[in-house]
Homo-oligomer: A and B are copies of this chain.
């Protein structure tokens, strides 16, 4: 492969194929290495090779054969299936490498993988460099515009995320006025929205059951090459189910998956979706990689 060629290590979700489509339409040579138990069926169907989680020898054998100019990781590895687990632990060939990964804890699994790949001599790049058009712009998507009340809620959410960021938590928060309905922990945005929804369904008075915004941004120091916050049509549907008015994300630092469907969902549910100036968040970009 050429210097501009890309090997995609493909984890969960739609991002791997969205990225592959962008690269292909830009004319860049690419190979897809799907990770079994994480990558979606559609990803595996288009993959050039499929390897087990932690089968680092086979993954490197593929890379060494392909000789890509750049390696990128796309899609999460944090929700392993039972099959992936069984596969991973049955691989005892790479005890040292696996031991090093395990020592980091699985939240940093992706970061550990990045280091191993870099040590092998392959530059690692993120979606931000390879396909920045997949990231949110600083615009309002769809028909609904956030009003002054929404802006105030967004600002409050930004403050909450900034306060949380030193503790390596808080990729997202749900706020209604100055009330915090849910702070995202390691469980992800969909579960956080489900919690906000459940909380509201328990409410006594109807007016406590609606309004508010989801505010989403990377954590300070988050490695943006391997872990970008993302929203998509499902995020919009879940936000609507939680009675929210809209979604605000840090522009340039958040993926908008399936942009057209996301905007259609926003219009259908009557929500706003807005990319906000990332400098409103304290030092998100400055000390983040990639």
Chain A positions within 8 Å of B, measured between CB atoms, are: 78-80, 85, 88, 102, 105-107, 109, 156, 159-160, 163-164, 166-169, 178-183, 185-187, 195, 198-199, 202-205, 207-208
Once bound together, how far apart are the Cα atoms of A205 and B104, in whole Å?
10
- How many angstroms from the CA of A207 to the CA of B103 in the assembled complex? 9
Enumerate chain B residues within 8 angstroms of A159, measured Cβ to Cβ: 167
A185 with B199: in contact, given A85-B204, A105-B205, A180-B168 (CB under 8 Å)?
yes
A137 to chain B, nearest CB (A): 29
Give bound CA distance, A199 to B105, whole Å.
14
Which residue of the partner chain, among B106, B185, B203, B204, contacts A181 with CB atoms under 8 Å? Answer: B185
Candidates B107, B168, B169, B208; contact of A183 at CB < 8 Å: B169
Q: List 28 A-B contacts (CB under 8 A).
A: A78-B202, A79-B202, A80-B202, A80-B204, A88-B204, A102-B205, A102-B207, A105-B179, A105-B207, A105-B208, A107-B208, A109-B204, A159-B167, A160-B167, A163-B164, A163-B167, A164-B164, A168-B179, A168-B180, A169-B183, A181-B185, A182-B185, A182-B187, A183-B183, A185-B199, A186-B199, A187-B195, A187-B198
15 other contacts beyond A105-B205, A107-B179, A183-B183, with CB at 8 A cut-off?
Answer: A78-B202, A80-B204, A85-B204, A88-B204, A102-B205, A105-B179, A156-B167, A160-B167, A164-B164, A167-B180, A180-B185, A182-B185, A182-B187, A186-B199, A187-B195
- Whether A204 contacts B168 in the complex (CB less than 8 A), given A163-B163, A181-B185, comes out as no
Q: How far is the CB of A109 from chain B (nearest CB, A)?
A: 7
CA distance in complex: A106, B163 (Å) = 26
CA distance A222 to B109 in the complex (A): 40
Given A159-B167, A168-B179, A180-B167, the answer on whether A106 and B205 have CB atoms closer than 8 Å is yes
Closest residue of chain B to A196 (Cβ to Cβ) is B185
Of all chain B residues, which has the CB nearest A165? Answer: B163
Closest 5 CB pairs of A and B: A106-B204, A169-B180, A163-B163, A183-B183, A182-B185
| A106 with B186: CB separation less than 8 A | no
Residue in chain B with minimal CB distance to A157: B167
A183 touching B185 in the complex, CB below 8 Å, given contacts A79-B202, A159-B167: yes
A208-B167 contact in complex given A182-B185, A185-B199, A186-B181, C-beta closer than 8 Å: no
Chain B residues positioned under 8 Å from A208 (CB to CB)? 105-107
